[in-house]
Chain A
């Protein structure tokens, strides 16, 4: 494992891991035959740690993220998320686990166009049955600097604002792990930098574990360690 680490947190990671992958494999069938996207990946991420997954396009970064978050099921191997074996859960079981422990930020924001900023942030809380959804969502939106924009619909917001709503949505449930897939990929560099700033600031305050897929070197550099992927393997 080629890892850039800061010594103190690396030892902590082994003591209290929140995410653990063992010999993960993902194969899909394609016209050219069986295609291996992720090959024998094992890793362990400590609570509160921030990890960047970097690598060229098509290296399998997003697929690894999907496997770690339980969005996809591995062809072999297993994932332990906060002590729960994801491979032992069905689709609905994984969904419930995500509702409680996981947050997401995506490259293309993925806000629901029919809902306002506030309603978008409320959504994961409501799905988890939280009665205080509205208050918590409003607070979080305030923290990302969008207090004036709560009643706006996604199409009425700029790209940076949309991503800030998405970040608020990701943090509002106070997840154990936050997965971010190219969170600044669709933003210009200045906006991207501000969004990255916000992401790390919230992450630091909430002590959330952050797993970040990115091409952005600056963003990767802010992580405690960086995993490099090449052709489906950790380099």
Chain B
């Protein structure tokens, strides 16, 4: 209790001395970096889960080709769950003579239970959420349907034996599916109108579904009941069936961002260690005095520990607030990445994590130095030269390393990845530190050629080598990542189409019926388009490799793109396109026609670890087809021509029912004339590549921005290191400044020296950063984005000038009180 009182009482006063401020700031930035990412990943994760259920339009969905019994809805109502029903069927919708095959969904009140229906008052307009379902006698057709049949809002459409008024245009509904093959336009109507259409006849292909949603625990128990009671042929889907890839991606992105925030945490930890050292140094006398007055070793340690604990708590709170604000800002910038416009609220977990992190950082980086306080001999009150025995190396660095490894393990609890990240981090810091040491040494050599203020500043850098290096690494890392992401974003945003051949295809057409193929191509030519090859496309699933079921062999490989279990698009062709290059095996000759041979794209082959001669079995429309791997192709995907992972030799799959796809180039003016094309070939789906790519680039750009903002914390962490370093050299600086001014230097000269020191430090960090960013950008643009890397001057200029300005400003703010102090005050003290 006595220790608590003394700890709190002195803590408040200690605040003025500064080290605690730096310590708190460093801890708060560390916690902020971690919790910011924690909040963000938590919310996006929850949003993705919500999005996943909204794909179902419910928490669970029971569907069947037969009408569902009323007992399910009764049971759900009995358990306090919400429910709704849908009836889906394919039928033709007419507007006068014009018709379109449509996915008609008749819904009951409450639909959808999860997610939202967006409607508009004109085709292709931005959608707004709508409450309720179409009134009886009204329908909401999708934009494409309305355009295809030439209908208008307020007009009439015929479905079967009934006629309906178009009340709104349907922009999207949650359970619309999304695969290329299921792209018939949809229409929502009220279920009470369904009998009047007389569409449902014996033998009609109809899907009946019941949707349920509600409280998680009730849903779980209801799901158990449903599994036990549902009849054969009734299919149950829940959140775990919905979009596992997206959740995987979020997990991985979260892990990456956490690791990125770890860099800030580590830098802050260094600042904490520096501040703690200075704190200990300044408190040796006080502790010796306390001991003289009768305090035991345990008491003095308890006081220090309690102060740390209070700091950790405060830092966790401040840091969490910082993290929350950062996360809110970040979410605003990446909003478009998420399909759900509203995000679930944050949870408290990251705050707890933040507190534990603050405690861990203090334990690893401040506690070893603090234990020194307990070892100060009381006799120091009489003899100032007596201090505590030096810390043993193991005790000085052991806890810090242990804490860093613990943090990494907590973020990547996987042995291999953990070792990679740890080793990578150590190597990265080592390379940066060595490069920094060289730069400092070179700068030191050059100082003879500059004026007195600069010489004094640069000499300071060399003299406080260790501190200079830590700051170089800190700022270097922060600036490097910001520059690197800047370069990548600039690459993404640059109009890179200009670097590609101008007549590259800009539209894809899929689902071309075989009997309309010739007519369609001729029509395209008639519009002035330049078409590419036309390839057949059928759907199939890989079920076995060399006779062994894929389920058994590929379980561990799920993450690598899900190639094995995903339904694939297959094609066959006799000709190898110019954008395909055989890297193993051989392409077929006319003599191979009809032989069960298959050629694989290298991505597919590598992902599944396949080899030439392997036998692959596909399930194509219920029939097994086996083929031998005859060749592996490297595909140039950016040719924007139809290309497939899996290509069969001709004469094998011709019997299977499929459609065709092609791509074409339209010059800018002709794109408008695609509307009549959509009307003339209603089943053909059109994809505007430029639009798709713009969307993909937008996603990448926002992701890069998110990463960039996480590294803003790294820069902030760099500042805490700078503050800690200035603090630890404050007495020395004060003395030097007083000496210089006594010797006749003006305040301006001393200030110039300080500015020179920090500007040089910043410029060196910027130089280091620009070099690192150039190497990183070279690698990333070539290997990852597969773009051409062009050398750019701006990152070097921005790095060096920006670094110099930034660090000089920070250093000046941190030292100005030292420079301003009159020399007499210092020399008298």
- A112 touching B289 by the CB < 8 A rule? yes
A112 contacts B286, CB within 8 Å? Answer: yes
Chain B positions within 8 Å of A119 at CB level:
9
B293 close to chain A: CB less than 8 A: yes
For chain A residues 93-145, which have a beta carbon within 8 Å of chain B? 94-100, 102, 104, 106, 110, 112-115, 119, 123-124, 126-129
Residue A66 at the B interface, CB < 8 A?
Answer: yes
Q: Assess whether A92 is in contact with B292, with CB atoms less than 8 Å apart.
A: no
Inside 8 A of B292's CB, which chain A residues have their CB?
69, 71, 98, 104, 110
Would A99 and B294 be within 8 Å (CB), given that A106-B381, A110-B285 are in contact? yes
Q: Which residues of B contact A124 (CB under 8 A)?
A: 293-294
Find out whether the CB atom of B379 lies under 8 angstroms from the CB atom of A127: no
The answer to whether A104 touches B293, judged by C-beta atoms less than 8 angstroms apart, is: yes
Q: Which of A55-108 contact B (CB under 8 A)?
A: 62-63, 65-66, 69, 71-72, 91-92, 94-100, 102, 104, 106
Shortest A222–chain B CB gap in Å is 22
Q: Which of B296-304, B362-370, B510-518, B775-783 contacts A (4 or more CB under 8 A)?
A: B296-304
Rounded to whole angstroms, the CA-CA distance of A62 and B384 in the bound complex is 12
- The distance in angstroms between the C-alpha atoms of A17 and B769, with both chains bound, is 73
The contact size tier of chain B is 20 to 34
A49 part of interface (Cβ distance < 8 Å): no
Q: A161 at interface (Cβ–Cβ under 8 A)?
A: no
Q: Are B293 and A115 in contact (CB under 8 A)?
A: no
Question: Which among A96, A100, A114, A169 is the interface contact of B13 at CB below 8 angstroms?
Answer: A114
The smallest C-beta distance from A37 to any residue of chain B, in angstroms, reads: 10
- Write out the residue numbers on chain A whose beta carbons fall within 8 Å of the beta carbon of B286: 112, 114
Q: Separation in Å of the A200 CB from the closest CB of chain B? A: 22
Q: How many whole Å from B824's CB to the nearest CB in chain A?
A: 17
| CB <8 Å contact, B381 and A110 | yes
Q: B445 within 8 Å of A by Cβ?
A: no
Report chain A residues within 8 Å CB of B10: 112, 114-115
Q: Verify B293–A98 contact, CB threshold 8 A.
A: yes
**CB-contacts of B374-409 with A (<8 A):** 377-379, 381-383
Q: Is the CB of A129 within 8 A of B289?
A: no
- Complex contacts, A110 vs chain B, CB 8 Å: 285, 289, 292, 381
B732 within 8 A of A: no
Cβ-based interface call for B291 (8 A): yes
Q: Give min CB distance, B33 to chain A, whole Å.
A: 31
With A112-B286, A115-B9, A119-B9: A65-B294 Cβ-Cβ less than 8 Å? no
A123 and B293 contacting across the interface, CB-CB below 8 Å: yes
Contact indicator A99/B382 (Cβ below 8 Å): no
Given A95-B291, A110-B285: A126 and B5 within 8 A (CB)? Answer: yes
Chain A residues 160-205 with CB under 8 Å of chain B are 169, 181
Chain A residues with CB below 8 A from B2, complex form = 126-127, 129
Is B297's CB under 8 angstroms from A99's CB? no
Do the beta carbons of B14 and A71 come within 8 Å of each other?
no
| A interface, size bucket | 20 to 34
Question: Quick check: B297 and A66 within 8 Å, CB to CB?
Answer: no
Tell whether, in the assembled complex, residue B14 and residue A62 are in contact, meaning their CB atoms are under 8 Å apart.
no
Within 8 A of A (CB), among B250-305: 285-286, 289-299
Inside 8 A of B9's CB, which chain A residues have their CB? 114-115, 119
State how many angstroms separate the Cβ of B582 from the closest Cβ of chain A: 78
Distance in angstroms between the alpha carbons of A48 and B9 in the assembled complex? 36
B295→A127 contact, CB < 8 A: yes
Q: What CA separation (Å) do A62 and B381 show in the bound complex?
A: 10
Chain A: which residue is nearest B300 at the CB level? A95
Are B382 and A62 closer than 8 Å at their CB atoms? yes
Query: Chain B contacts of A72 at CB under 8 A?
Result: 377-379
Q: Are B381 and A95 in contact (CB under 8 A)?
A: no
CA distance A115 to B10 in the complex (A): 7
Query: Given known contacts A112-B10, A114-B13, A114-B14, is B382 in contact with A65 (CB within 8 Å)?
Result: yes
Chain B residue with the shortest CB-CB distance to A153: B13
Judge whether B297 and A98 touch: CB under 8 Å.
no
Q: Is B412 an interface residue (CB 8 A)?
A: no
Give the residues in chain B near A126, CB-CB below 8 Å: 2, 5-6
C-alpha spacing A91/B293, complex, angstroms: 13
Tell me, rounded to whole Å, the shortest Cβ–Cβ distance linking B5 to chain A.
7
Residue of B nearest to A72 (CB): B379
> Bound state CA distance, A102 and B291, in angstroms?
12
Q: State which of A66, A92, A129 has its C-beta within 8 Å of the C-beta of B382.
A: A66
Bound complex: CA of A100 vs CA of B293, how far in Å?
9
Nearest A residue to B5 by beta-carbon distance? Answer: A126
Bitwise interface map of B from 639 to 671 toward A, beta carbon under 8 Å scored 1, else 0: 000000000000000000000000000000000
* Chain B residue, CB-CB nearest to A102: B294
* A115 and B13 contact, Cβ closer than 8 Å, known pairs A95-B378, A126-B5, A127-B299: yes
Q: How far is the CB of A18 from chain B (nearest CB, A)?
A: 17
Q: Do A71 and B297 touch across chains, with their CB atoms under 8 A apart?
A: no
User: Could you tell me if A96 and B381 are in contact, using CB atoms closer than 8 angstroms?
Assistant: no
Q: Which of A97, A99, A129 has most B Cβ within 10 Å? A: A99
Distance A123 CA – B17 CA, assembled complex (angstroms): 21
* Whole-angstrom distance between the Cβ of A90 and the nearest chain B Cβ: 9
CB 8 Å contact bits of B104-137 with A (1 = contact, 0 = none): 0000000000000000000000000000000000
CB of A229 to closest CB in B, whole Å: 15
Chain B: minimal CB distance from A39 (Å): 18
A175 to chain B, nearest CB (A): 10
Q: How far is the CB of B195 from chain A (nearest CB, A)?
A: 85
The answer to whether B293 touches A99 (Cβ under 8 A) is: yes
**By the criterion CB–CB under 8 Å, are B297 and A92 in contact?**
yes
Which residues in window 1-38 of B have CB below 8 A to A?
2, 5-6, 9-10, 13-14, 17
A72 to B381, CA, bound (A): 11
Residues from chain A with Cβ under 8 Å of B379 in the complex: 66, 71-72
Distance, CA A113 to CA B383, complexed state (A): 19
Pick the contact of A62: B285, B294, B377, B383 (CB < 8 A): B383
| Given A92-B298, A119-B9, A126-B2, A71 contacting B382 (CB threshold 8 A) | yes
Nearest neighbor of A129 in chain B, beta-carbon distance: B2
A115–B17 alpha-carbon span in the complex (Å): 13
Q: Contact between B285 and A100 (Cβ–Cβ < 8 Å)? A: no
Complex: how many Å from CA A69 to CA B289? 13
CA distance A63 to B13 in the complex (A): 33
Which B residues have a C-beta under 8 Å from some C-beta of A? 2, 5-6, 9-10, 13-14, 17, 285-286, 289-299, 377-379, 381-383
Which residues of A are at the interface with B, using a C-beta cutoff of 8 A? 62-63, 65-66, 69, 71-72, 91-92, 94-100, 102, 104, 106, 110, 112-115, 119, 123-124, 126-129, 153, 169, 181
* A-B pairs with beta carbons under 8 Å apart, 24 shown: A65-B382, A66-B382, A66-B383, A71-B292, A71-B377, A72-B378, A91-B378, A92-B296, A92-B298, A95-B295, A95-B297, A96-B294, A102-B294, A104-B292, A106-B381, A112-B10, A114-B10, A114-B13, A123-B6, A123-B290, A126-B2, A127-B294, A127-B299, A181-B382
Instruction: A91-B378, A114-B10, A127-B293 given; name 10 further pairs at CB < 8 Å.
Output: A66-B382, A66-B383, A71-B292, A92-B297, A95-B294, A96-B296, A102-B294, A110-B289, A115-B10, A126-B2
The 9 A-B residue pairs whose C-beta atoms are closest, nearest first, are A99-B294, A114-B13, A92-B296, A72-B379, A71-B379, A114-B10, A124-B293, A71-B378, A98-B294
